[in-house]
């Protein structure tokens, strides 16, 4: 698997969402942030909107659930059409059970860690997950500054995955742009969520390609 770019529609124009999605059709995934105003202090969108986005998007949906009670809600996002569903370890009662439910429904199972959560909490259960999302900002709002100290988590996950002879996807979200993506790629990341860096560019589709090329060159 090569480097993958997942533009976040949190930085898109919500009044023209379908056209904004088409602007990034060179991407590997479309990252959709679901916030409930409780787990994080922001509110975005929910199941009906994700279901409709999945119907019109040329890219598979990567749903990032920043919500309470993912044990109940995460499988419903897989049923709504998300090809990958990420829930937060901090909000989950039984992360392994959620992951198994997602896989049973045909979705990739991913767990996210907030900056303050140590990576050790999931190392014994990596076989349960297809991807781990290392947050490189505090979840809840776009446009925050990248946290370079999170790269130790990325490296630990990559070494653990290699030692187990399996390829765990390692995603990063927050402050990903031309000046940070190479650092993440060298640490072992391979799936990159980019919001303002993509949607703030004059040509979002070309920016997706540029970011992917930078990451690939850094890993090589």
Our answer to whether residue 190 is catalytic in this structure is no
Q: 28, 33, 101, 190: which one is catalytic?
A: 33
In the beta sheet, which residues pair with residue 109?
A: 85
Q: Considering Cα of 16, then 198, then 205, then 88, what sign does the dihedral take?
A: negative
SS3 193: strand
Q: 28, 130, 173, 190: which one is catalytic?
A: 173
E strand or H helix that includes residue 99: helix 95-104
Contact 119, 156 (CB under 8 A): yes
- Can you tell me the distance from the alpha carbon of 89 to that of 153, in angstroms, rounded to the nearest whole number? 15
Contact 116, 89 (CB under 8 A): no
Our answer to whether residue 120 is catalytic in this structure is no
Pick from 120, 170, 175, 178: nearest CA to 148: 175
Burial pattern 199-218, b for ≥16 Cβ within 10 A else e, equals bebeebbebbebbbebbeeb
Residues carrying an active site annotation: 33, 173
């Amino acid at each position: 698997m090569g480097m993958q770019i997942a533009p976040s529609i949190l930085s898109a124009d919500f009044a023209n969402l379908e056209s904004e999605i088409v602007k990034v059709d060179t991407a590997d995934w479309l990252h959709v942030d679901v916030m409930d105003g409780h787990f994080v202090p922001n509110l975005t969108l929910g199941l009906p909107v994700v279901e409709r986005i999945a119907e019109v998007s040329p890219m598979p949906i990567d749903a990032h659930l920043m919500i309470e009670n993912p044990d109940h809600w995460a499988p419903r996002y897989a049923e709504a059409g998300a090809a990958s569903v990420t829930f937060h370890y901090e909000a989950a009662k039984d992360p392994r059970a959620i992951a198994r439910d997602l896989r049973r429904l045909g979705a990739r199972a991913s767990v996210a860690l907030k900056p303050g959560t140590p990576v050790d909490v999931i190392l014994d259960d990596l076989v349960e997950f297809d991807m781990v999302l290392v947050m490189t900002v505090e979840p809840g709002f776009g446009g925050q500054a990248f946290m370079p100290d999170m790269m130790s988590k990325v490296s630990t996950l990559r070494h653990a995955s290699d030692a187990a002879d399996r390829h765990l996807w390692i995603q990063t979200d927050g402050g990903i742009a031309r000046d940070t993506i190479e650092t993440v790629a060298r640490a072992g990341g391979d799936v990159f969520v980019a919001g303002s860096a993509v949607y703030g560019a004059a040509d979002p589709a070309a920016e997706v390609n540029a970011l992917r090329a930078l990451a690939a060159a850094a890993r090589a």
